């Protein structure tokens, strides 16, 4: 029997496998209030999926010194991990099913996220996936966040899979753009905004059974 060519799925985490937006919003709000800074919920939504060091200069303005950015960054992530452990996290509809189905089908899988590695570990523990991921790429592994393609290219390299044999799953426009720049096909999970991905669904549970294979075949055409 002929062995299938290597292939991989690179998962974003927040908003794709799990909806932790509310916990991020609360942790940002509490952390910034302690610093005498306030942001609107829309400002938070507009920043979602980006690294903190990219977000904070715009929110802090002239007061955005490197030391203050680092202090707020660490405090916010500490608050988020505390809330995640306290309240728990539930995978989004179809997430656990697809992770298992792809694993059983011989696909390599990686988390490729802008979040710090400790956050990713806490989230995966809280979601209790019974299938391990083959690689985890977090904020510490790249110098530039999405829409730069570094995170996806690093994940593909860690897995040993060529970019054109990878499918990215994302929920944010900056992530879809990063996948495009990396030369990868992309599935967008969009509950509110329109995403310029190759295939867009409201939930992972809505994906056709052959969605991932079809995207790779399209890339070969």
Calpha distance 169→16 (Å, rounded):
7
Please indicate, yes or no, whether residues 116 and 202 belong to a single structural domain of this protein: yes
Tell me, yes or no, whether 2 lies in a domain.
no
CATH number at residue 121: 3.40.50.1000
Which pLDDT value is given to residue 2? 47
Which pLDDT value is given to residue 218? 82
Q: How many domains does the chain have?
A: 2
Please indicate, yes or no, whether residues 99 and 126 belong to a single structural domain of this protein: yes
Calpha distance 163→161 (Å, rounded):
6
Tell me, yes or no, whether 72 lies in a domain.
yes
Residues of the chain with pLDDT under 70: 1-4, 219-221
Which pLDDT value is given to residue 221? 52
Between the alpha carbon of residue 42 and those of residues 28, 39, 75, 87, 179, the distances in Å are 13, 8, 21, 24, 25
b/e map of 135-169 (b: 16 or more CB within 10 Å)? bbbbbebbeebbbbbbbbbbbbebbebebebbbbb
CATH number at residue 74: 1.10.150
Domain finish residue from 43, 62, 87: 87
Task: Please state the pTM of the whole predicted model.
Answer: 0.85
**Domain that includes residue 58, residue range:** 21-87
Which pLDDT value is given to residue 88? 87
Please indicate, yes or no, whether residues 138 and 214 belong to a single structural domain of this protein: yes
The DSSP-derived string for 73-116 is HHHHHHHHHHHHHHH---BPTTHHHHHHHHHHTT-EEEEE-SS-
Q: Which helix (H) or strand (E) element contains residue 153?
A: helix 150-159
Please indicate, yes or no, whether residues 129 and 186 belong to a single structural domain of this protein: yes
Please indicate, yes or no, whether residues 39 and 140 belong to a single structural domain of this protein: no
Please indicate, yes or no, whether residues 67 and 164 belong to a single structural domain of this protein: no
Which pLDDT value is given to residue 57? 95
Tell me, yes or no, whether 1 lies in a domain.
no
Which pLDDT value is given to residue 129? 83
């Amino acid at each position: 029997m002929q062995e299938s060519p290597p292939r991989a799925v690179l998962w974003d985490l927040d908003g794709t496998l799990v909806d932790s937006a509310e916990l991020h919003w609360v942790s940002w709000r509490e952390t910034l209030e302690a610093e005498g800074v306030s942001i609107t919920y829309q400002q938070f939504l507009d920043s979602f999926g980006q690294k903190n060091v990219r977000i904070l200069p715009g929110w802090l303005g002239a007061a955005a010194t490197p030391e203050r950015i680092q202090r707020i960054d660490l405090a916010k992530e500490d608050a988020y991990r505390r809330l995640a452990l306290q309240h728990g996290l539930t995978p989004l509809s179809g997430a656990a099913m697809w992770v298992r189905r792809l694993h059983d089908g011989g696909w390599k899988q990686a988390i490729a996220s802008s979040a710090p590695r400790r956050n990713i570990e806490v989230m995966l523990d809280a979601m209790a996936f019974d299938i391990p991921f083959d690689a985890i790429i977090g904020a510490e592994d790249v110098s530039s966040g999405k829409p730069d393609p570094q995170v996806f290219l690093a994940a593909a390299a860690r897995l040993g899979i060529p970019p054109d044999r990878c499918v990215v799953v994302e929920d944010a426009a900056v992530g879809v753009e990063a996948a495009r720049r990396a030369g990868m096909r992309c599935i967008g999970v969009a509950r509110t905004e329109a995403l310029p991905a190759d295939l867009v669904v409201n939930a992972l549970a809505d994906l056709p059974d052959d969605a991932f294979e079809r995207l790779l075949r399209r890339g070969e055409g």
